[in-house]
Amino acid sequence: MDIHDTLSDVKTKDDLIAFIGALAEDSRTNTEEWENITLPDYLSSIQAWLKDMDGYYKNSGGDMPADIDWNFIAVLLYTGKIYE
């Protein structure tokens, strides 16, 4: 199964934990499918997507999420740097 197909299944904390594990495994086993292999490239692509996310939702016919907790996302990304 394509990992992209599982995005809509993420509804809970446990779902997100499983998705992140699957994403990590996918990066190891399907490297040729990844545009951004290095961590700096991956983070830069996330930054670029965030800048353009309004267009993503508009073009896909979806609604932009209204209640995004931006601080939580920042904490999540930062703790990946320091948590063991």
* Residue 8 per-residue DSSP state: G
pLDDT score, position 62: 87
Q: Please, which pLDDT band fits residue 2 given cuts at 50, 70 and 90?
A: confident
70: tokens are 């931006």
Residue partners of 54: CB distance under 8 A and separation at least 6? 64
- Domain ranges in the chain? 1-34, 35-84
Closest CA to 47 of 4, 77, 15: 77
Over residues 18-72, the pLDDT tens digits come to 999 999 999 999 999 999 999 999 999 999 999 999 999 999 888 999 999 999 9
